[in-house]
Structure 1
């Protein structure tokens, strides 16, 4: 069960990264949308798991690679934002959130538009 502190830190991280990715998208020449779908923080506030949705799908691998390469800069960014709120800045782990793809696939199957392996 998450504590209030974990939820607060996760919310701060989610809002700050959402703003950062929005600014990067505005500055970029490509139309890539990166959204922070969820953030989970461990009980000791040492690790933050950040789940990202990236659209269009063909850019997912490249964007995730770039994010992983810039992980140190992102940690410094969040450290500046949270310096007065936490003693230790959490390590950041980024994950691709494919839950929207799964929902779309299920909806397609329910409408009968998907591949039916039984028939």
Structure 2
């Protein structure tokens, strides 16, 4: 479970990274909207795990993630310029694909399939 300090720090990182991607995301991935869905920070605040979702260019999500990872040091530098007065250290950034929407979609299909099947009558007699 994350402490209040970790949650607050993750919120700061998420907000500032969102602004960076909104302003300069087209430089990294043209025609793609990058959304930061979740940020998790280690207890020592040294590593931030950023979960991203990509809209627009969904043909190759892994390639988009690799492009972001190639620019991780540049993104970290820009993040540092924004939060330098609020933190002691700028965390290392680790990027991951957030597949929550795919999971929800898959579960919805399963539930739809179950609801369309005929119900078996209860065999237990009371």
**Higher Rg of the two aligned structures:** 2
For structure 1, the 5+ residue unaligned runs are 114-119
> Partners of 2:68 and 2:29 in 1: how far apart?
17
CA RMSD, 1 decimal: 2.1
The reply to whether residue 64 of structure 1 matches residue 65 of structure 2 is: yes
> Partners of 1:81 and 1:103 in 2: how far apart?
34
Aligned to 2:83: 82
Aligned to 1:116: none
Cα shift readout 1:51-71 (whole Å, capped 9, x = no counterpart): 001124213122111111111
> Partners of 1:71 and 1:30 in 2: how far apart?
17
Aligned to 1:11: 11
Aligned to 1:2: 2
The reply to whether residue 45 of structure 1 matches residue 45 of structure 2 is: yes
> Partners of 1:17 and 1:96 in 2: how far apart?
15
Cα shift readout 1:3-30 (whole Å, capped 9, x = no counterpart): 2221111001111111222223567894
For structure 2, the 5+ residue unaligned runs are 115-126
Deviation (angstroms), 1:79: 0.8
TM-score of the superposed pair, with normalisation by structure 1 = 0.84
Matched position secondary structure for 1:49: strand
